[in-house]
Structure 1
Amino acid sequence: MDKTLIIGYGSPIRGDDAIGPLAVERLVERGLPVGVEAIARHVLTAELVTELAGRERAIFLDAAAGGEPGMVQVHRLEPDVDAHSTMAHFLDPSELLAWCRQLYGQAPEAYLITATGACFDYAHCQLSPVAEAALERLLEQVERVWVG
């Protein structure tokens, strides 16, 4: 099993919300280092807990809706045992980590890397110019995190 799991998530038909899955696509095209796996999802589901189990590091990639469009941020995540999801098939990263710790006795070191989008209108896998520019900066942050 690879030590690092990258999960890019978001809706590919909602403009800049596709930045997570598109980031995974670009990372795979460029070639991932040994020990790093990347997957894309529309939403974070409970089934991903089994993917996180046994990993040393998890990196979540997503679009942000608030803030200055194009801004890239890195957040260290901790399991959120107090999270109460209203839907078991749509979770946030900290809640997934809490489930992982509860079910498997540990959770990986985790980060959320976001890029603030400018447009979330219907557009299949098409980013706004601001988000496209931010995508490259997001990928640079991913590399910094997986290198440690």
Structure 2
Amino acid sequence: MNYIINTVDKSEYTSIIEVWEASVRATHHFLSEADIAYFKPLILNQYLDLVELRSLKNSDGKIVGFLGAAEGNLEMLFLHPDLRRKGLGKLLLNYAIEQLRIQKVDVNEQNPEATAFYLKQGFAVIGRSETDPQGKPYPILHLKLK
């Protein structure tokens, strides 16, 4: 199957948030239902507008992944869980590095698969925060491209 990376229109935000939720449920096991309910409207109504957003669409035109970048930081990268481990995360990350010039990414420490992915792609841990940006007790690892 062929995939294409495109800019995102606000009319596609519903599809973006569906991918986000499916991905989070498959990878962020430390989050409660209340946490997901807390973050979902923030992402949909605020965070998506604060980043350069790109979607990954399959040959049917369906959004199956996305990334968001701002000021050299990869702020979000999510794939539908059915498509993990197929090279598509690497495709999105390489696009972000080459086209959007990202150099840094923050990762939930409690998401070891994501941490391992970024380390394998050439990032190194340069710091750690005890809480996430909202002050929730989810430690964040700060990574930078070597």
Using the size of structure 1 for normalisation, the TM-score is 0.31
Using the size of structure 2 for normalisation, the TM-score is 0.31
User: Greater RCO between the two (CA within 8 Å, min separation 6)?
Assistant: 1
Indicate the structure with greater helix content.
2
